[in-house]
Chains A and B, each alone.
Chain A
């Protein structure tokens, strides 16, 4: 077990390091001069030289990378170029909202996928299952921002039941959560259905049935436990996609979360903001993934000895 833990931790650190390299490379090495981005084309050569020194652009690349990484780890994320705030303060304002939204969406998706997946697996050829199967296919294909716009139109404009966005208590998170959870739910229920169908054909199911164990007990006690592993693994991988969805959904509903912070940073060419926010978000994704992996390892001893 301990060896397994060490290997996982090592893998996590290595992946994080590679991501930091990729982020740094895209933002700092590819053609494009940050100093020119800030000053525009009107800046004088002196101001340009001064700015380059201030941003440490005159130093060698490797040194800049190591410096940034060291600062990032220490929590010194620097100041935003456009806001008169530090990146840390900006993140502090935006992070809780996005995090709550993401957790809510995962929760809703898992809770909703359970009955849908069960229904589709137990009666695979009934009309309801066919309908649900079509529904999950649609859930995968519908663009999230479109669903969001339609939900706003329906529940906020026409029916006036819920706020269209902004931060007015928990009610304002309801529509974004549903929007974000929909494709997640579709994928999870499809995985669950596939896992259940596979497990239902196993020998131990027939043994249990032959022993006279009631159907529902077989389903929940024997089959579900074995079938849930695949969708749970999938749920872990979903965090990265969830984040991408959060950026779009926050934009639709005008929620001031990490997605909006990042997007503002992109459009205003706020390099320190973008660089550190991306790194932070990816770290959260990786952390979630690793914790998830560990939990799966605890649940299923087979995984540990792979």
Chain B
């Protein structure tokens, strides 16, 4: 995360600048993580790639969460026919993973960021739908919701003011885990060549280009992979710790 913020303001070198004389330099000084087959500074490209990964991942998960939560609230609160219908749609979407959806989009639009964004956003709807619905089902039976209803509050007001705030913490966990998945999906898609197009750097794309030089320049393969893994594991752990922290809170430890 800190590296991303750094990359926003400062990269040691222009990530797309090519210096053929400085090709395949091993990690060291002044190129912290060496240079690639065009003589581009790997560290700068990784910082730049972090921006892409996080921006695309966050935006996509936000869209997915927004739609998923809205549908989940509706399914959980109204129940009956709407619940059945929305859960069916959720199951159908679940059979289409983000990567497959993005590939579908890539067939009619040209490969690029929008394809990845919409693919991941759609792919994330079902999990948010499920989490929200299960929370709403238990919350809507609580006394304060009934009290609000007795006072004549409208459905919309009950859902937004009384139910949604209490769904919050479960959603944060889901958000963190989804973000980890989104970073992984973005990297996979740019590795497949349907993500951000060259010469702009993204972690998956860098690995795709590095694959040919595995023996000659192992740092080209190692560096982006380590960064992807660190980001994904980081967000997964964040979600896990959130759950642990909440459990401790409830137990009064």
Contact = CB atoms under 8 A, between A and B. Distances in A.
Closest 3 CB pairs of A and B: A141-B233, A18-B92, A146-B225
Nearest to A32: B108
Interface stretch (A61-69, A109-117, A198-206, A241-249): A241-249
A152 B215 CA distance: 11
Nearest to B203: A143
Contacts of A244: 97-100, 188
Interface of A: 11, 14-15, 18-19, 22-23, 26-27, 30, 32, 34, 37, 137-138, 140-146, 149-150, 152-153, 157-158, 237, 240-241, 243-244, 247-248, 251-252, 262-263, 265-267, 269, 271, 274, 278, 281-282, 285-286, 289
A241 B96 CA distance: 9
B86 to A, nearest CB: 11
A143 B229 contact: yes
Contacts of A138: 229, 233
Interface string B184-206: 10011001111000000000100
A141 B187 contact: no
Contacts of B228: 141-143, 146
24 contacts: A14-B88, A15-B92, A19-B95, A22-B96, A27-B108, A137-B237, A138-B229, A140-B236, A141-B232, A141-B236, A142-B228, A146-B224, A149-B214, A149-B221, A152-B214, A243-B97, A243-B100, A247-B103, A251-B191, A265-B107, A267-B193, A274-B104, A282-B95, A282-B100
B6 interface: no
Contact of B91 (A15, A143, A248): A15
Interface residues of B, number: 46
A269 B107 contact: yes
A289 B91 CA distance: 11
Nearest to B221: A149
Given A15-B95, A141-B229, A263 B103 contact: yes
Contact of B233 (A18, A140, A237): A140
A102 B188 CA distance: 18
Given A27-B108, A30-B108, A146-B229, A248 B192 contact: yes
B221 A143 contact: no
B93 A22 contact: yes
Given A22-B92, A244-B98, A286-B95, A262 B215 contact: no
Contacts of A262: 103
B100 A153 contact: no
A282 B99 CA distance: 13
**Which of B106, B188, B193 counts the most chain A CB atoms within 10 A?**
B188
A267 B192 CA distance: 10
Contact of B95 (A158, A240, A267): A240
B104 A137 contact: no
Given A15-B92, A18-B88, A152-B214, A143 B188 contact: yes
A157 B87 CA distance: 48
Interface of B: 88-89, 91-101, 103-109, 111, 180, 184, 187-188, 191-194, 204, 207, 210-211, 214-215, 218, 221, 224-225, 228-230, 232-233, 236-237
Contacts of B89: 18
Contacts of A140: 232-233, 236
B188 A27 contact: no
Given A142-B229, A153-B214, A248-B192, A37 B92 contact: no
B233 A137 contact: yes
Given A23-B104, A26-B108, A278-B104, A240 B207 contact: no
A144 B228 CA distance: 11
Given A32-B108, A145-B191, A146-B228, 20 more contacts: A19-B92, A26-B108, A30-B108, A34-B108, A137-B236, A137-B237, A143-B184, A143-B228, A145-B207, A146-B207, A146-B229, A149-B207, A149-B221, A150-B221, A153-B218, A244-B99, A244-B100, A266-B106, A274-B103, A282-B96
Nearest to A157: B215
A49 to B, nearest CB: 21
Contacts of A274: 103-104, 107
Given A150-B221, A153-B218, A286-B95, A278 B100 contact: yes
Contacts of B88: 11, 14-15, 18
Contacts of B100: 243-244, 247, 278, 281-282
Given A146-B207, A240-B97, A141 B180 contact: yes
Contact of B108 (A14, A37, A157): A37
Contacts of A248: 99, 188, 191-192
